[in-house]
């Protein structure tokens, strides 16, 4: 039995009628799928600095070190399945006529869960890209040797993700920002809200009149700025929000 969240989210009936909904997700939504977050105890950045593993300079300096990190994560992602939080968001897309799902995650679990048209701000770890030609492939097996090279031209391959210091995919970010400007309800889920420009989208929405709610078991820098907070794991809270939307 999930709690009825309709009184806390009065805007849900408008969303059901077509008022635009935006959801922004971060690493926290994939915790219940067995994938680690970046920050905090046990996080991917614990004991290492992002600049050593997730920048173009780090890759240039030591592609093997960077590839070992990404190939390990690609293995975790291959084993992972969407959890109740991802599935709830896919269900919400069938209930809300205008929903935009934006993610900072590179695990593709929203797509696997069935969410349509996911705006992936930081790329995908499932995909790899030729550093010379820019061609993308989606190898399903682990690489036999690291770092891997392009079968077509012999240049180094790289993970198809956005590293610190690199621009976000332009059209994807443009759509994410426009959706944030236009929405009536913005849910910010499982992100520490520390990495710009994704971290600014919730406040952009708020400044433009949206109601903004956070779903996170822990406090974040934007907790005090939003209209409400659901303190709990997204795999529990999001199904309750989807139920409330269905009943709205
Ligand atoms: P973080 O690791 O910074 O934050 C994860 C958030 O998830 C924290 O606020 C946790 O409290 C929350 N969390 C933990 N368990 C949760 C659960 N079960 N349900 C919901 N939330 C939970 O990850 P992001 O905010 O996604 O960028 O990080 C943003 C970006 O920084 C990443 O995309 C990555 C990273 O460096 C790049 O690699 C470019």
Q: How confident is the model over 221-232, as pLDDT tens digits?
A: 999 999 999 999
For 14, list phi and psi in degrees, rounded to 5.
-65, -40
Hunting for tokens 């799928």 — which residue is that? 33
Q: How confident is the model over 182-216, as pLDDT tens digits?
A: 999 999 999 998 888 888 999 999 999 999 999 99
Atom of ligand 1 nearest to the CA of 85: 19
Question: How many angstroms does the Cα of residue 40 sit away from the middle of ligand 1?
Answer: 9
Which of 60, 86, 110, 122 is labelled catalytic?
122
Q: Whose CA is closest to atom 33 on ligand 1?
A: 104
pLDDT above 70: percentage of residues in the chain = 99
46 lines ligand 1 (CB under 6 A): no
Contacts of 87 (CB under 8 A, 6+ apart): 113, 114, 239
- In whole angstroms, what is the distance from residue 36 CA to residue 187 CA? 21
Q: How are beta strands 123-130 and 136-137 bridged, if at all? A: antiparallel
The hierarchical CATH code for the domain 1-35+81-122+167-248 is 3.40.50.1220
**Backbone dihedral region of 125: left (phi > 0), alpha (psi from -120 to 50 degrees) or beta?**
alpha
Q: How are beta strands 211-215 and 185-189 bridged, if at all? A: parallel
The hierarchical CATH code for the domain 38-79+125-161 is 3.30.1600.10
Residue 122 annotated to the active site: yes
Binned average pLDDT, 10 residues per bin, the chain of 248 residues: 75 96 98 92 79 92 96 96 98 98 98 97 98 96 96 97 96 98 98 89 96 96 95 97 96
**All structural domains of the chain with their residue ranges:** 1-35+81-122+167-248, 38-79+125-161
pTM (2 d.p.): 0.96
For residue 1, what pLDDT is reported? 52
Q: Whose CA is closest to atom 9 on ligand 1?
A: 192
User: What Cα–Cα distance (Å) separates residue 233 from each residue in 83, 88, 134, 205?
Assistant: 11, 13, 38, 23
For residue 2, what pLDDT is reported? 65
197 lines ligand 1 (CB under 6 A): no
234 lines ligand 1 (CB under 6 A): yes
């Amino acid at each position: 039995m999930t709690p009825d969240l309709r009184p806390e989210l009065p805007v849900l009936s408008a969303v059901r009628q077509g008022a635009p909904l935006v959801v922004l997700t971060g690493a926290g939504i994939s915790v219940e799928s067995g994938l680690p977050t970046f920050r905090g105890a046990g996080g991917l950045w614990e004991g290492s600095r992002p600049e050593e593993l997730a920048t173009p300079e780090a890759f240039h300096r030591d592609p093997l070190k960077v590839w070992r990190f990404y190939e390990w994560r690609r293995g975790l992602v291959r084993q992972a399945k969407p959890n109740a939080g991802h599935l709830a968001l896919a269900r919400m897309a069938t209930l809300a006529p205008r929903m935009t799902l934006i993610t900072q995650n590179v695990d593709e679990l929203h797509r696997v869960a069935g969410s349509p048209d996911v705006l992936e701000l930081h790329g995908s770890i499932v995909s790899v890209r030729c550093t010379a030609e820019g061609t993308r492939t989606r190898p399903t097996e682990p690489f036999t040797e690291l770092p891997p090279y392009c079968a077509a031209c012999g240049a180094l391959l790289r993970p198809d993700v956005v590293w610190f210091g690199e621009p976000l995919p332009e059209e994807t970010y443009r759509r994410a920002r426009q959706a944030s400007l236009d929405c009536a309800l913005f849910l910010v889920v499982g992100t520490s809200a520390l990495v710009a420009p994704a971290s600014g989208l919730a406040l952009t929405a708020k400044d433009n009149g949206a109601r903004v709610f956070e779903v996170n078991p822990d406090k974040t820098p934007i907790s005090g700025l939003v209209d409400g907070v659901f303190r709990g794991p997204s795999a529990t809270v999001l199904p309750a929000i989807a139920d409330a939307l269905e009943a709205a």
